[in-house]
Structure 1
Amino acid sequence: MGLTSDKVLALAVGSAVLLFAGTVWVWPRLARATWRAVSGRIALLLATQVALFGSLGIAANQAFGFYAGWADLFGQETGQGVVVDHTGHGGGPLQVVGTGRVPGASGSLPQIAGEVQRVDVVGRTTRIATPAYVYLPPEYFQPRHRTRTFPVAVVLTGYPGTARALVDKLHYPRTARQLAEDGRMQPMILVMLRPTVAPPRDTECVDVPGGPRTETFFARDLPDAVRAHYRVGGKPGSWGIVGDSTGGYCALKLAMHHPGVYAAGAGLSPYYRAPADPTTGDLFRGDKDLRNRADLRWFLDHEAAPDTALLVSSSKVGEPNYKATLEFIKRVEATNLTRISSIILDSGGHNFTTWRREIPATLQWLSGRLTDH
Structure 2
Amino acid sequence: MLSQPSRSRAVVTGAAVLALAVGLTGCGNTKSGKAKAPVATDAPAAASPSAPPAGKVLMPTGPAAAMTKARETAVGPVTTTKVAGPKSGVTGQVWVWLPPEYHDPKYAKTGFPVLTLFAGGQSNGYNTWAGSELPIPEVAERLAKEGKSHPFIMVMPVQNFSADEKKALDCSDIPGQPKMATWMAQDVPAWVRANFRTLKGRDSWGVMGASTGGFCSAKLALQYPDVYKAAVPIDGYFIPDSRLWQGHDTEKAANNPDQLVTQGKADVKMLVTAGGADPYEQRVVKSWMAKAVPPVAIEYYEQPGGKHLTSDFRKMVPDALQWFTKNLEGPAHD
Q: Matches of residues 177-188 of structure 1 in structure 2 within 5 Å?
A: 177-188=141-152
Question: SS of the counterpart of 1:140?
Answer: helix
Give deviations 1:279-336, integer Å, cap 9, x for gaps.
Answer: x3322x53333221222222233x233101111110232363210111122222xx23
Provide the rounded CA distance (Å) in 1 between the counterparts of 2:234 and 2:101.
28
State the partner residue of 2:322.
Answer: 364
Query: Are the aligned partners of 2:169 and 2:177 in contact in 1 as well (CA < 8 Å)?
Result: no
- When residues 177 and 250 of structure 1 are mapped into structure 2, their CA distance, relative to the original with a 3 A threshold, is same
- When residues 145 and 99 of structure 1 are mapped into structure 2, their CA distance, relative to the original with a 3 A threshold, is farther
- When residues 150 and 264 of structure 1 are mapped into structure 2, their CA distance, relative to the original with a 3 A threshold, is same
The structure with the greater share of residues assigned to helix is: 1
Give deviations 1:197-248, integer Å, cap 9, x for gaps.
Answer: 5654310111011211111111100001111111112311121100011111
**Is 1:149 matched with 2:111?**
yes
**Is 1:254 matched with 2:212?**
no
Q: Matches of residues 332-343 of structure 1 in structure 2 within 5 Å?
A: 332=292, 335-343=293-301
Q: Please, what TM-score do these two structures have when normalized by structure 1?
A: 0.67
Q: Please, what TM-score do these two structures have when normalized by structure 2?
A: 0.74
Provide the rounded CA distance (Å) in 2 between the counterparts of 1:139 and 1:191.
16
Question: SS of the counterpart of 2:169?
Answer: coil
Provide the rounded CA distance (Å) in 2 between the counterparts of 1:274 and 1:100.
32
* Partner of residue 72 from structure 2, selected from 92, 101, 108: 101
Q: Which has the larger radius of gyration?
A: 1
Query: Are the aligned partners of 1:227 and 1:234 in contact in 2 as well (CA < 8 Å)?
Result: no
State the partner residue of 2:78.
Answer: 116
Query: Are the aligned partners of 2:68 and 2:81 in contact in 1 as well (CA < 8 Å)?
Result: yes
Letter in 2 for 1:101: E
Query: Are the aligned partners of 1:240 and 1:262 in contact in 2 as well (CA < 8 Å)?
Result: yes
Q: Which deviates more from structure 2 when the two are superposed, residues 308-317 or residues 156-165?
A: 156-165
Provide the rounded CA distance (Å) in 2 between the counterparts of 1:322 and 1:246.
16
Provide the rounded CA distance (Å) in 1 between the counterparts of 2:275 and 2:71.
35
**Is 1:223 matched with 2:189?**
yes
- Once the two structures are TM-superposed, the CA of residue 185 in structure 1 deviates from its matched residue by 0.6
Query: Are the aligned partners of 2:267 and 2:294 in contact in 1 as well (CA < 8 Å)?
Result: no
Question: SS of the counterpart of 1:347?
Answer: coil
Q: What stretches of structure 1 of length at least 5 have no aligned partner?
A: 1-89, 106-112
Q: Matches of residues 123-134 of structure 1 in structure 2 within 5 Å?
A: 123-134=85-96
- Once the two structures are TM-superposed, the CA of residue 100 in structure 1 deviates from its matched residue by 4.7
State the partner residue of 1:5.
Answer: none
Provide the rounded CA distance (Å) in 2 between the counterparts of 1:189 and 1:342.
25
State the partner residue of 1:14.
Answer: none
Q: What stretches of structure 2 of length at least 5 have no aligned partner?
A: 1-60
- Once the two structures are TM-superposed, the CA of residue 164 in structure 1 deviates from its matched residue by 4.9
Letter in 1 for 2:175: P
Question: SS of the counterpart of 1:236?
Answer: coil
**Higher-RCO chain (CA-CA 8 Å, sequence separation at least 6):** 2
State the partner residue of 1:190.
Answer: 154
State the partner residue of 1:350.
Answer: 308
Letter in 2 for 1:255: A
